Structure 1
Amino acid sequence: MEDEHSGVEAGDRSYGADGYEAADEREWHEDDETDGRRRNFAPLLLFAVPAVVILVLLGLLFGDDLFGADHPFGDSRACAGSDTPLVPALQSQGIGLPAVVKGLHYATHEENTQAPDGVRFTAFFTSTRQAMEDYLRQQRLVAPDQAGDPRTDAYGNSLDGGDIGVPQAQCGTGQITGDFASIPKSLNGSEQLTVSVERTALGIDARPRVLITISG
């Protein structure tokens, strides 16, 4: 006669040596493992779902700027109608940009004989006081001792600018509407570089808005 505690089947049930039902014990362990896996994945889901939602929203709101869609050269900083990328346009004129440039938008019309108002290059951005002082010196736009507070050029002419508003042929947002210095420099005889930099009564603003144009 088979012992009912020997581990063999008795009717529809299976017993272990300790008398407990082996099937029920296995089910209990399986349920415990399933609950453990669910607990392990729960924190991941809490972070993963919001992250996916945020990425989708960013793509919808800023997709053009993030990926350069509908912009010349695939560069989200370039205004529509630009015909030359930024670096070649700067190199062709032998100029550069300040060491600190934020929020840059630019337009180039080097190959377009119908450049708006003769403006062949426009760049608008924000910078820092120190970066602009260094830039004005490096480009020899003002006397070294005038770089921090440009008021007159080398000939004593006033550098005070008017209200330029939104720059011609410029895209994006940004304008200089307060006090600023407008500093010209002749390039290649027929073209003129103009750097307009925001300033206060104490000199160049701490985070000045800057407009650079080349016309001619």
Structure 2
Amino acid sequence: MSGRPGSRRRLGCLAAVLLALAVPAGGAVWLLRGELFHPFGDDRACAGSDQRLPETIGVRGTPLPSDASDVRYFTRNGSAGVSFRSGRLSDYLHSAGIVPEGTDLFDKSHGSVGVAGEPYRLPDGLCGPGLRTPVWYYGPVDGVSVTVERSPLFGDHLRFPARAVVTYTFD
């Protein structure tokens, strides 16, 4: 019986030491969780991104629409893929020069329809929700390509709100 009280005391000390180490480690993980799980501490950045994009992401000098939500991006070697959802995509496509002002969004001289029945795949590295089909492809126009969700009922309209994927190169 003389060995039992000493081993209990050692177990108690070991438990106290482990608790003393676990609390600060857990607190550090909690404080740095954004830094640990997202590149640059930016929850919009997908794993593997090599450059942080600014808070206001702009493509060809045009910022994403003011109502853009669920924004995700992936960067690699001077190129970026950005995914977002917006109810103002037609304005964005015109102001970014992807579709010339006054031109119909689904003019075949500026884009093409996705293959019916084929699911859209996000560009390699880009995370987040994918686009729902049917989709429409624009570009590349000056190094910018855009894919948007079309309405499944009205082929000459976008979904509302619609998700878009923009790929481009930057300096």
Per the TM superposition, whether the score is higher than 0.5 is: yes
For residue 203 of structure 1, what is the aligned residue in structure 2?
Answer: 157
Select 1:79's aligned residue among 46, 50, 57.
46
Alignment CA distance shift 1:98-1:68 (3 Å): farther
CA distance in 1, matches of 2:164, 2:58: 19
For residue 159 of structure 1, what is the aligned residue in structure 2?
Answer: 112
For residue 18 of structure 2, what is the aligned residue in structure 1?
Answer: none
Tell me, yes or no, if structure 1 residue 141 matches structure 2 residue 93.
no
* Unaligned residue ranges in structure 1 (runs of 5+): 1-62, 112-119
Indicate the percent of aligned positions where both proteins have the same amino acid.
Answer: 25
TM-score (norm 1): 0.53
CA distance in 1, matches of 2:62, 2:77: 15
Select 2:84's aligned residue among 102, 106, 125.
125
Task: Judge conservation of contact 1:165–1:177 (CA < 8 Å) in 2.
Answer: no
Flag the structure with more relative contact order, 1 or 2, with Cα contacts below 8 A and sequence separation at least 6.
2
Select 1:194's aligned residue among 145, 148, 159.
145
Structure having the higher helix fraction is: 1
TM-score (norm 2): 0.65
CA distance in 2, matches of 1:209, 1:77: 15
* Unaligned residue ranges in structure 2 (runs of 5+): 1-29
Task: Indicate the structure (1 or 2) with the bigger Cα radius of gyration.
Answer: 1
For residue 72 of structure 2, what is the aligned residue in structure 1?
Answer: 105
Q: What is the CA-CA distance between 1:161 and the residue it aligns to?
A: 2.5
Alignment CA distance shift 1:165-1:109 (3 Å): same
CA distance in 1, matches of 2:141, 2:163: 22
Q: What is the CA-CA distance between 1:91 and the residue it aligns to?
A: 5.7
Structure having the higher strand fraction is: 2
- Runs of 4+ aligned structure 1 residues displaced above 4 Å come to 88-93
**Deviations, residues 140-196 of structure 1 (Å, cap 9, x unaligned):** 11133345xx2225xx25421244223321123x11231122111433xxxx21111
How many residue pairs get aligned? The number is 134
Alignment CA distance shift 1:106-1:193 (3 Å): same
